Amino acid sequence: MAAGTAYEPVIGLEIHVELSTKSKMFCGCEARFGGIPNTRTCPVCSAQPGALPVINREAIRHIARIALALDCRIAPGSIFHRKNYFYPDLPKGYQISQYDMPFAVEGHLDVTMDGEQHRVGIERVHQEEDTGKNIHAGESGRIAGAIYSLIDFNRCGIPLVEIVTKPDIHSPQVARSFLNKLKNTLQYLDVSDCNMEEGSLRCDANVSVRPAGSDLLGVKTELKNMNSFKHLEKGLAKEIERQIGLLEAGRPVVQQTVHYEVASGEVHPMRSKEYAHDYRYFPEPDLSPLEISQDFVDDVRTGMPELPSVRAARYVTELNLPEYDAEVLTSNRDTSDFFDETLNYFDDQKMLSNWVMGDLGAYLNASGKKLSIETVSPGQADQLCWLSPAGFGEFLAMIKDGEIAAASGKAVLPEMCETGKTAREIVEEKGLAQISDTARIEALIDRVIEANPEQREQYKSGKKQVLGYFVGQVMKESGGRANPRTVNEILREKL
Ligand code: ADP
Ligand code: ZN
Ligand code: MG
């Protein structure tokens, strides 16, 4: 390719979501993360001869919710396939997955970035099962350099949904914001905890480059198992750079897997990728085709929660909030639910929004804790914030009614979040109650005026800006607790 050619990146994502069902995809074992290794297994998920799989109905409800939220067409009939490959974490020697007749196809999800909308097509959404987990003992934690490896089959058979996008993404930034939007949507749907550290949400990114303006697809490489959106964005940018470098040097891009090394920020090509025919896909003979009736789809649709974009629109039209607020508040379901619930206790929605996006948001970012509208128990306190919607509403009402100065409120709120004490308790303990009692304020003002005869003369002779000095002195005398509005009014009269 001639030097100076402009290139356009082309990205398609494959996202695996572990569903939060009670039991596994094809057996009754518990599907939760963790547990003592190999205690959540049975003849089915450990592949004993003669054991037969049974489809988990709840998992199918979950995947249907996902498909509907992504505006996909749900197939009235889909089938399961065996995807054959040999690996120790796969006891059957194949994964039950879907192949040419997936659960749902042809959807999309829109993301807005810098005011511009990008529509990302969804090629397919299909149902499969997770594998076990290899644990490599040794310094690296990876297979290379391991002294020995252990296998935990607890994860084996947990329902997985794979979401495959069309190659519609043209920058690492849009890839990241697509993933954020998708994760947020899945959390609203209550189908997965989307915990990336625990691997409930994993992403493979396919990327190629082509001369800008071309509509042909270049040869792609794949960044596998990215468990952080930030790393994925960086890895993609690096890989795009590498591919452009190759093409500029007149060398071909080879279809292969690429590993992004977080520490160095470098990308390393790994192995050449398998093709579909390497997996010897064939229909799973132990499961009959999955038939989805219109009644089932309608029933799932009726039970769908309000999705983030719909909720944001409601905040704008019904609550009169700016679009910016609506976008920020709905970008996280816990926060948005908390906001909604607090409205039952406090009705100034803009003031509420400001505090949620401002001081409360800052506390959540700094502490890494989450909000919950349920009563928090001590065992959850390292993950959840103690603040309750009722308590938060009371706190805001105290500020609005002038019982606490907004400035003092900044210190009260984090303590409410940390300790679960009420605003009233903290205000009393710390003596932060705002003084609105005119008699007490008058006494303070008299004292200040008496102590500053010179400034008083200046004020009288027309230097009105001295008022600010007096207000400052009175506030100082009151320890910041005098109601500034009352101070101003009385000072004007007295001077
Ligand atoms: P494979 O057969 O390698 O699994 P698929 O056609 O199934 O490839 O696509 C897998 C993912 O890769 C999809 O998200 C798709 O959008 C994306 N993709 C396909 N071709 C390209 C390409 N040339 N460049 C970037 N992404 C691509
Ligand atoms: Zn089992
Ligand atoms: Mg594929």
CA of 450 to the centre of ligand 2 (A): 83
Q: Give the per-residue pLDDT at 279.
A: 87
C-alpha to C-alpha distance for 118 and 174, rounded to whole angstroms: 8
Question: From the CB of 415, is ligand 1 less than 6 Å away?
Answer: no
- What pLDDT band is residue 424 in, cutting at 50, 70 and 90? confident
Question: From the CB of 9, is ligand 1 less than 6 Å away?
Answer: no
> So what's the architecture of 438-494 in CATH?
Orthogonal Bundle (1.10)
CA of 368 to the centre of ligand 1 (A): 35
Name the residue with higher pLDDT: 408 or 186: 186
- Is this prediction's pTM over 0.85? no
Q: Give the per-residue pLDDT at 3.
A: 53
CA of 238 to the centre of ligand 1 (A): 19
Q: Give the per-residue pLDDT at 225.
A: 75
- Which numbered ligand comes closest to the C-alpha of 48? 2
Mean of the pLDDT values across residues 396-404? 85
Question: From the CB of 164, is ligand 1 less than 6 Å away?
Answer: yes
Q: Give the per-residue pLDDT at 464.
A: 80
Q: Taking Cα atoms as reference points, which of 417, 387, 409, 483 lies closest to residue 444?
A: 483
Tens-digit pLDDT profile for residues 64-97: 999 999 999 999 999 999 999 998 999 999 999 9
Q: What is the mean pLDDT of the chain?
A: 90
Question: From the CB of 276, is ligand 1 less than 6 Å away?
Answer: yes
Q: Taking a C-beta distance cutoff of 8 angstroms, is the pair 221, 267 a contact?
A: no
Q: Give the per-residue pLDDT at 24.
A: 97
Which one of 70, 206, 207 would you pick to mutate in the ligand 1 pocket, going by the greatest count of ligand atoms within 8 A of its CB? 206
Res. 269: pLDDT tops 90? no
Q: What token pair was written down for 136?
A: 């490599």
Tens-digit pLDDT profile for residues 461-490: 888 888 888 888 887 877 777 777 788 888
Res. 434: pLDDT tops 90? no
Domain ranges of the chain: 7-296, 323-430, 438-494
Tens-digit pLDDT profile for residues 335-347: 999 999 999 999 9
Q: Give the per-residue pLDDT at 4.
A: 62
Q: Give the per-residue pLDDT at 141.
A: 75
Question: From the CB of 308, is ligand 1 less than 6 Å away?
Answer: no
Tens-digit pLDDT profile for residues 210-254: 998 888 999 999 998 787 899 999 999 999 999 999 999 999 998
- Which numbered ligand comes closest to the C-alpha of 132? 2
Name the residue with higher pLDDT: 65 or 494: 65
Q: Point out the ligand 1 atom lying closest to the alpha carbon of residue 10.
A: 25
Question: From the CB of 166, is ligand 1 less than 6 Å away?
Answer: yes
What sign for the dihedral angle of Cα 203, 208, 212, 216? Answer: negative
Question: From the CB of 389, is ligand 1 less than 6 Å away?
Answer: no
Tens-digit pLDDT profile for residues 270-279: 866 555 568 8
- Percent of the chain beyond pLDDT 70? 97
Q: Give the per-residue pLDDT at 8.
A: 94
Q: What token pair was written down for 278?
A: 């390497």
- Which amino acid is residue 99, in one-letter code? Y
- Around ion ligand 2, residues with a beta carbon closer than 5 Å are 27, 29, 42, 44-45
Mean of the pLDDT values across residues 99-112? 94
Question: From the CB of 206, is ligand 1 less than 6 Å away?
Answer: yes
Tens-digit pLDDT profile for residues 153-192: 999 999 999 999 999 999 999 999 999 999 999 999 999 9
CA of 11 to the centre of ligand 1 (A): 8
- What pLDDT band is residue 376 in, cutting at 50, 70 and 90? confident
Q: Taking a C-beta distance cutoff of 8 angstroms, is the pair 490, 447 a contact?
A: no
Name the residue with higher pLDDT: 314 or 143: 314
Question: From the CB of 400, is ligand 1 less than 6 Å away?
Answer: no
Res. 48: pLDDT tops 60? yes
CA of 8 to the centre of ligand 2 (A): 46
Mean of the pLDDT values across residues 44-60? 95
Q: What token pair was written down for 325?
A: 């607020």
